């Protein structure tokens, strides 16, 4: 007589009916919780996209040459050279006595675009083209940085700031 009895497999006995449903629900809940925490952590690490101000360079002027942006907020400056000669866009200590030096200076060849992201404290910042003779010929403008400002741009006849 054979008294051998096949052993019962774990899942045949313990995971029947309500217990199987409860276990599956717990696994699903843990998976969703882990996924939700991961998504939250990922989105918290991604910085917000910067607002953008577009400035065009021509031979020999900026358009627009006046802009307003919010203070202490990342703003991307996108400068495109529509001229036939090389230009530069600079917001440095030149013409900006008493203001934070934003240390922005980049060259743009004809047809090229340069960018910089700034987070500036409140003030009125002078920008210009530092290619020889361009500033003196009228290639400059002003960027007004104000608390809670909306981004705006315009064109006007302006005079260069001394210093």
Q: Do 28 and 56 sit in the same domain of this protein?
A: no
Q: Is residue 161 part of a domain?
A: no
Burial class (CB in 10 A: 0-12, 13-18, 19+), 67: buried
Query: How far apart are the C-alpha atoms of 95 and 161, rounded to whole Å?
Result: 6
Q: Do 91 and 127 sit in the same domain of this protein?
A: yes
Contact at 8 Å (CB) between 52 and 76?
yes
- For the beta carbon of residue 90, count every other beta carbon within 10 angstroms: 21
Contact at 8 Å (CB) between 143 and 122?
no
Q: What is the CA radius of gyration of the chain?
A: 31
pLDDT tens digit string along 50-109?
A: 699 999 999 999 999 999 999 999 999 999 999 999 999 999 999 999 999 999 999 999
- Domain of 150 in residue numbering reads as 51-154
Q: Do 74 and 124 sit in the same domain of this protein?
A: yes
List the CATH number of the domain containing 122: 2.60.40.420
Burial class (CB in 10 A: 0-12, 13-18, 19+), 54: middle
Burial class (CB in 10 A: 0-12, 13-18, 19+), 41: exposed
Query: How far apart are the C-alpha atoms of 64 and 14, rounded to whole Å?
Result: 74
pLDDT tens digit string along 20-34?
A: 677 667 776 666 555
How many domains is the chain partitioned into structurally? 2
Q: Do 64 and 116 sit in the same domain of this protein?
A: yes
What is the pLDDT confidence band of residue 160, given thresholds at 50, 70 and 90?
confident
Q: Is residue 162 part of a domain?
A: no
Contact at 8 Å (CB) between 117 and 77?
yes
Q: Do 26 and 86 sit in the same domain of this protein?
A: no
Q: Do 135 and 60 sit in the same domain of this protein?
A: yes
Q: Do 73 and 139 sit in the same domain of this protein?
A: yes
Q: Do 41 and 79 sit in the same domain of this protein?
A: no
pLDDT tens digit string along 102-129?
A: 999 999 999 999 999 999 999 999 999 9
Q: Do 35 and 107 sit in the same domain of this protein?
A: no
Buried b (16+ CB within 10 A) or exposed e, 104-134: bbeebeeeeebbbebebeebebbbbbebeeb
Average pLDDT, the chain: 83
Q: What pLDDT shows up at residue 40?
A: 41
**The two three-digit tokens of residue 7, written as one number:** 């052993």
Q: Do 103 and 127 sit in the same domain of this protein?
A: yes
Q: What pLDDT shows up at residue 135?
A: 95
Query: How far apart are the C-alpha atoms of 36 and 85, rounded to whole Å?
Result: 53
Q: Do 37 and 56 sit in the same domain of this protein?
A: no
Q: Is residue 2 part of a domain?
A: no
Q: Is residue 1 part of a domain?
A: no
Q: Do 126 and 67 sit in the same domain of this protein?
A: yes
């Amino acid at each position: 007589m054979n008294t051998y009895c096949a052993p019962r497999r774990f899942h045949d006995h313990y995971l029947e009916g309500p217990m199987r449903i409860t276990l599956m629900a717990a696994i699903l809940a843990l998976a969703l919780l882990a996924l939700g925490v991961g998504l939250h952590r990922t989105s918290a690490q991604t910085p917000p996209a910067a607002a953008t101000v577009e400035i065009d360079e021509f031979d020999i002027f900026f358009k627009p040459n006046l802009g307003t942006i919010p203070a202490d907020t990342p703003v991307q400056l996108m400068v495109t050279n529509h001229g036939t000669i090389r230009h530069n866009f600079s917001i440095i200590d030149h013409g900006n006595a008493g203001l934070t030096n934003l240390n922005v200076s980049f060259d743009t060849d004809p047809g090229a675009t340069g960018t910089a992201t700034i987070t500036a404290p409140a003030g009125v910042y002078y920008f210009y083209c530092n290619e020889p003779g361009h500033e003196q010929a009228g290639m400059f403008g002003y960027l007004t940085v104000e608390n809670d400002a909306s981004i705006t741009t315009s064109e006007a006849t302006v005079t260069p700031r001394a210093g």
